[in-house]
Structure 1
Amino acid sequence: MTLTAHELGSGPVHTQERDPVSILVAQDRNRLQDLIPVRHQRMAVTPFTFFRGAAALMAADLASVPHSGIRTQLCGDAHLSNFGLFLSPERQMVFDLNDFDEAYPGPFEWDVKRLAASMAVAARANGADDRDARRAARRAARAYRRTIITSAQQSVLDCWYDKVDVDKVLAEIGDLLDTTASRNMRKILKKARHRNSEQALAKLCVVEDGRLRIKNDPPLLIPAEEVFVRAPAAYVHEMFAERFERYRAGIAPHLGTLLDQYTFVEAARKVVGVGSVGTRCWIMLFVGKENGDPLFLQLKEAQESVLAPYVDPVDFDNQGRRVVIGQQLMQASSDVLLGWLRGPVYASDDRGVARGAAGESDFYVRQLRDGKGSVVVEGMPVDRLSLYGELCGTVLAQAHARTAARGEIADYVDGLGKSFDRAIADWSLRYAELNDADHAKWVEAVSTGAISAAAMD
């Protein structure tokens, strides 16, 4: 169907039957129960952290109103904090989308609305009034519209390889930033360039009796031997070595040769993000010739995308493969070690004894901290936030333009012109207001004990 600008900006629908707490708590059933209070607490901190963890809620809200029907590969969770800096395989710093847990094909504007709404939520949380928050969301939508139109005029290969070069961005917008902002951005870039496996080694590991070990920092970081505390160390080691072999069997032979030069040392459970807390996430430490030559791989559980119940189904044989395909389609330069596996999920009793496989789950695999860094949007002044949102809107359009739908998307947004920007901005401001109300209900549920929450730093 072809939506008018009025229809595009309609909603979100807010009914008495819509219970945000129930929708989000329903996700807890498939998560590690001892980490659920951590997730609840992180979502309670601010309206923006709540928004970050509430992708399932927004998916239901998006599905409650008409959509364009123009289908493309979606990130599924394209909020401001899911864009970031990382090193490409060519070891160049790039800025791109960096989270694809909810990746799924669907209506293109769902990603745009998720991004623009995050702009409005963040702006309001940072003290901006509604006028400035709406303007920030509109600028992100405008950047998306202009970029997708330009991308549709490029050749297929030019569109595929198009990306935002971080140094070029600084050269172009650095003079628009105040001195402090520009300096802070450069500090972020410098930090990201050194945020690799060696930096992770210093932060996550210790040397005990000449042996490299992962730190024990519960509940955020726990070595696998401490998770399964009564199981023999050799048994725990073999559990993860077997998972690694399943992953290795599915990657390209030349990458297998690369990985064969490393020796597996240890695995640990690591808590990451906001919305991801409670899903199974492990890091695996490998070393090359010596302790100072580390490689960290992250094994992250991949569950069904929050978008899947609301769009035409796609038959993925493995949810980890779904995530990897989405990432490879949308990123200009993806991690060469991306992969997936289906591995056993081990049960344990209250003493931490591994009792063998209790079913299987899907995982995707990636490098941990391959030059990764991000911009902290909390507290960012609205003028800087708007510039950052424009950059994210540009990147999102480039990601959508790598699929065959770019021409149809471009024709649609070009036909609406500035009305597209205004419609997305209207939606975003209303959603920010709804998000504030939902966050208040979440905080109340935490404070009354209706849902559990852990005290976190």
Structure 2
Amino acid sequence: MSKLIERILKFNQGLLPEMLPYKYEAMAENPFRFYRGTCHLFYEDLQMEKAIAASPLTWICGDLHLENFGSYRGENGLVYFDLNDFDESVLAPASFEVVRLITSIFIGFDSLDIEQKKADKMARLFLKTYSTTLAAGKAISIEPRTAKGIVRDFLTAAEKSKAKDLLEKRTEKKSKKLVLSLTDERHFKLDRKLKADLTSHISDWISTSSDGPYNYKVKGCVFRLAGTGSIGVKRYLFLLKSTNTRNNYLLIDMKQSRPSSVSPFVHCKQPAWAAESERIITAQRHLQNVTPSLLSTTDFRGDTYVIQELQPVKDSIKFKMIRDQYRDLYLVIDDMALLTASAQLRSGGRGGSAIIDELSAFGKNPDWQEPLLDYARKYAATVKKYYNQYIRSYEAGKLTR
């Protein structure tokens, strides 16, 4: 067995064994999907590049790539486009976030057969907008009124999304009652005891948590499969029905929180978290302009979880949709750079992060940019080699143990 496969198998120990085949299948789709599913490899390798770490400390989402930006409805009722995955979040050098994103540009564009010249141009655009925004020292948010191009269209469509549309995708009628659909390939039936315990647990959360919705009752739950890197964690979807309003439903996602794959390779002192779920939602509140509704944490059977509403408006930009729309790509990358810098500025001075003045000075200093670009370009080639090794092993059945 190759060293690469040993690294992958070792990292995925502890995940649900019955779900790992779905993860390994997803990672085999293309190099970009493989990159999304192997965040740990990226940081294991990055630890050797001391020059990349020479940047101010800030909060990072940890797994920033082209498809970890998207739309959601904030707790204030407005729709935003922002960073949207915080499972790997830690306090770390600001450049960690940037180099992971830029590497994803090179990998993503290559996976879509977009020429290297355009990938280089987009990577430089990202760096220019990121550093300019950081240098200005002012965080900016993106909502329908301030968005442009395809992101504006994306958010405008999201605003029009209705809860009933999401319910139609996730539920079905049985004996005139609405239930979570088990024909959905992302939904799996739970054993009777676990389902009963989960129902009781969320019922208690509704009645006792200040973050929970009022006057709702649990009507069903299933195991939920989602993402790439997070496939294999314990994750559940609940259907809640209002006890006050006729035909009013909520869908609630409850996702297991695991240690960040970045943290072993970050040598600065981290806050003393009571639980991994606390780390995740604290970082999310630091980095996002407005957090989504019902964001909460809970403990269940010895594990900690993040709870939030599954929304009809929550979605991510899929780059396959816009591969032939170069102008749209330009605008989207520009927005992503602006949001990355804004998230770091927003968290400036919080929980050990560098203050805004230090982040601004980093943005004004061009010396770090070319080494970072070179590393991202070379590491994208490394990922492609990893992927080819992985495919050979996957097809030979070496990821089944």
Q: TM-score higher than 0.5 here?
A: yes
Secondary structure of 2:13's match? helix
Matches of 2:380 and 2:120, distance apart in 1: 10
Matches of 2:203 and 2:9, distance apart in 1: 32
Aligned residue number for residue 179 of structure 1: none
Partners of 2:143 and 2:155 within 8 A in 1: no
Aligned residue number for residue 181 of structure 2: 215
Partners of 1:195 and 1:369 within 8 A in 2: no
- Are positions 1:422 and 2:370 aligned together? yes
Partners of 1:115 and 1:393 within 8 A in 2: no
Which of 363, 372, 385 does residue 437 from structure 1 map onto? 385
Q: 1:26 to 1:240 in 2, by over 3 A?
A: farther
Which of 208, 218, 226 does residue 264 from structure 1 map onto? 218
Aligned residue number for residue 339 of structure 2: 395
Partners of 2:69 and 2:81 within 8 A in 1: yes
| Mapping of residues 289-304 of structure 1, within 5 Å | 289=244, 292-304=247-259
TM-score (normalised: structure 2): 0.90
Aligned residue number for residue 327 of structure 1: 284
**Structure 1 residue 306: deviation in Å?**
0.5
- Any unmatched runs of 5+ in structure 1? 1-17, 175-181, 345-359
Partners of 1:86 and 1:373 within 8 A in 2: yes
- Are positions 1:137 and 2:87 aligned together? no
**Structure 1 residue 210: deviation in Å?**
2.1
Q: 1:368 to 1:147 in 2, by over 3 A?
A: same
Matches of 1:415 and 1:204, distance apart in 2: 49
Secondary structure of 1:68's match? coil
Which of 303, 308, 326 does residue 263 from structure 2 map onto? 308
Aligned residue number for residue 369 of structure 1: 311
- Are positions 1:287 and 2:241 aligned together? yes
- Please say which of residues 275-284 and 53-62 is displaced more in the overlay: 53-62
| Mapping of residues 47-446 of structure 1, within 5 Å | 47-66=31-50, 67-151=53-137, 154=138, 159=139, 162-170=140-148, 174=149, 188-195=154-161, 197-217=163-183, 220-222=186-188, 226-228=189-191, 231=192, 236-246=195-205, 249=208, 251-252=209-210, 255-256=211-212, 259-288=213-242, 289=244, 292-311=247-266, 312-314=268-270, 315-344=272-301, 360-369=302-311, 371-378=313-320, 380-381=323-324, 383-402=327-346, 403-404=348-349, 405=354, 406-416=356-366, 419-446=367-394
Question: Matched residues, percent identical?
Answer: 20
Partners of 2:22 and 2:231 within 8 A in 1: yes
- Please say which of residues 430-439 and 124-133 is displaced more in the overlay: 124-133
RMSD of aligned residue pairs (Cα, Å): 2.3
Amino acid at match of 2:384: D
- Please say which of residues 105-114 and 305-314 is displaced more in the overlay: 305-314
Partners of 1:247 and 1:341 within 8 A in 2: no
**Structure 1 residue 247: deviation in Å?**
7.4
Matches of 2:44 and 2:369, distance apart in 1: 23
Matches of 1:277 and 1:408, distance apart in 2: 37
Partners of 1:247 and 1:339 within 8 A in 2: no
More helix by share: 1
Matches of 1:373 and 1:266, distance apart in 2: 24
**Structure 1 residue 30: deviation in Å?**
1.2
Secondary structure of 1:119's match? helix
Secondary structure of 2:72's match? strand
| Mapping of residues 26-65 of structure 1, within 5 Å | 26-65=10-49
Q: 1:78 to 1:432 in 2, by over 3 A?
A: same
Partners of 1:51 and 1:435 within 8 A in 2: yes
- Any unmatched runs of 5+ in structure 2? none
**Structure 1 residue 383: deviation in Å?**
4.8
Partners of 2:224 and 2:235 within 8 A in 1: yes
Q: 1:437 to 1:384 in 2, by over 3 A?
A: farther
Give 1 or 2 for the bigger CA radius of gyration: 1
Matches of 1:19 and 1:193, distance apart in 2: 47
Give CA-to-partner distance per residue, 1:370-393, whole Å, 9 cap, x none: 521221113624553333122111
TM-score (normalised: structure 1): 0.79
**Structure 1 residue 143: deviation in Å?**
1.1
**Structure 1 residue 62: deviation in Å?**
1.9
Q: 1:90 to 1:63 in 2, by over 3 A?
A: same
**Structure 1 residue 317: deviation in Å?**
1.2
Aligned residue number for residue 397 of structure 2: 449
Partners of 1:287 and 1:295 within 8 A in 2: yes
**Structure 1 residue 327: deviation in Å?**
0.6
**Structure 1 residue 409: deviation in Å?**
2.1
Secondary structure of 1:168's match? coil
Amino acid at match of 1:34: E
**Structure 1 residue 91: deviation in Å?**
2.4
**Structure 1 residue 23: deviation in Å?**
2.1
